[in-house]
């Protein structure tokens, strides 16, 4: 089950809302997943379309909480491509008018005919705004797996509905983006803190926990990766330094022979050749007498300098080893 479906099934089970919140959530459902059919003479019927059984149950529950139905809603299951299911919930015309009137989504024209219109209700309470977020998410929202990215989005057929959601998000302290994708209006929320807050506001507390868990794991993993990269870089530097030392020693050996080096330098040169992978400090430990880290670095620099000088004065055959 995707993270998004997990969140939806948790939200579908949220209970104990007051009447004001039921209306708010239903309003978001109508704008996000509602299908309006016009029958002429001002008759309208309202349906809901969803591919999730949990969401379908939620709408039905909210509808029942909003008042008694005149006619039992009809349920249809449509099998779409690749076994994809879509549920349609159809309300009777009478129930549709009742519901839309309560939402302030019906407007009477001059002849007294009722027409569907943008919602005129304004939500003043935060409990209702949170319920609206929940309904909007269940109806048309999607959230990415937080292990991949922190991103939630809602798709709307028209800009006004998207703008309404963006406003509600802002009233609850979330900054959303509004854009267009293939002719649809898209509302997006980004960033770990915002997505986590969104889940909290909608009431998906288990999902908040699982998201915070994966966030903690992610940051731990990133820290471990940084440490490993740092070690690898050190090792890389160490190996390339050792390669440079060996090349210098081999050059010295070819030009003047290691035996002509002062005894300590000659001993260090042989040690390095015999242990190309060893750290310089480990070579220092094996010297007689032992050499400290700075002592061994100093001796090694001497060897490198000699090789460099040798390179520069490659023409002059007689070269004295510096002491
Ligand atoms: Zn409320």
CA of 292 to the centre of ligand 1 (A): 74
pLDDT tens-digit series, residues 17-35: 899 999 999 999 999 999 9
For residue 132, report the distance from its CA to the centre of ligand 1, in Å: 9
Rounded to an integer, the average pLDDT of 36-46 is 88
Q: Looking at domain 3-203, which CATH architecture does it have?
A: Roll (3.10)
Q: Among residues of the chain, what percentage have pLDDT more than 90?
A: 46
pLDDT score at 76: 85
Residue 24 C-alpha to ligand 1 middle, in angstroms?
7
Q: Where in the chain is CATH 3.10.28.10?
A: 3-203
Q: Please give the pLDDT value at position 319.
A: 46
Number of Cβ atoms within 10 Å of the Cβ of 36: 13
Q: What is the pLDDT of residues 49-64, one digit of tens each?
A: 998 889 999 999 999 9
pTM: 0.69
Question: What confidence score (pLDDT) does residue 41 get?
Answer: 81
How many angstroms is it from 171 CA to the middle of ligand 1?
A: 14
- Tell me how far the alpha carbon of residue 133 lies from the centroid of ligand 1, in angstroms: 12
Ligand 1 centroid to Cα of residue 4, in Å, is: 25
| Ion ligand 1 — residues with CB < 5 Å | 20-21, 125, 127-128
Compute the distance from residue 131 Cα to the ligand 1 centre, in Å. 7
Span 104-114, average pLDDT: 83
pLDDT at 320: 47
Q: How high is the mean pLDDT of the chain?
A: 88
């Amino acid at each position: 089950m995707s993270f998004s479906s997990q969140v939806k099934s948790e939200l579908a089970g949220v209970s104990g809302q007051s009447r004001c919140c039921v209306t708010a959530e239903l309003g978001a459902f109508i704008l996000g997943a509602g299908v309006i059919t016009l029958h002429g003479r001002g008759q309208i019927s309202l349906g809901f379309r969803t591919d999730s059984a949990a969401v379908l149950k939620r709408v039905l529950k909210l509808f029942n909480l909003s008042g008694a139905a005149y006619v039992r809603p009809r349920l249809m299951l449509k099998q779409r491509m690749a076994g994809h299911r879509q549920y349609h919930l159809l309300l009777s015309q009478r129930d549709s008018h009742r519901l839309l009137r309560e939402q302030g989504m019906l407007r009477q024209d001059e002849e007294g005919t009722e027409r569907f219109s943008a919602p005129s209700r304004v939500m003043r309470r935060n409990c209702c705004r949170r319920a609206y977020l929940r309904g909007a998410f269940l109806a048309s929202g999607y959230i990415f797996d937080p292990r991949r990215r922190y991103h939630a989005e809602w798709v709307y057929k028209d800009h006004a509905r998207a703008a309404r959601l963006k406003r509600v998000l802002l009233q609850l302290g979330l900054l959303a983006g509004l854009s267009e994708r293939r002719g649809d209006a898209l509302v997006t929320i980004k960033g770990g803190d915002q997505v986590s807050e969104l889940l909290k506001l909608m009431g998906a507390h288990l999902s908040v926990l699982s998201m915070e868990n994966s966030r903690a794991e992610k940051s731990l993993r990133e820290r471990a990766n940084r440490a490993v990269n740092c070690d690898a870089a050190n090792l890389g530097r160490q190996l390339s330094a050792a390669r440079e030392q060996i090349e210098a020693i081999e050059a010295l050996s070819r030009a003047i022979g290691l035996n002509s080096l002062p005894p300590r330098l000659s001993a260090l040169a042989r040690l390095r050749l015999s242990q190309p992978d060893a750290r310089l400090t480990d070579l220092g430990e094996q010297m007689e007498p032992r050499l400290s880290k700075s002592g061994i670095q100093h001796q090694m620099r001497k060897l490198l300098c000699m090789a460099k000088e040798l390179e520069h004065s490659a023409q002059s055959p007689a070269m004295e080893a510096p002491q």
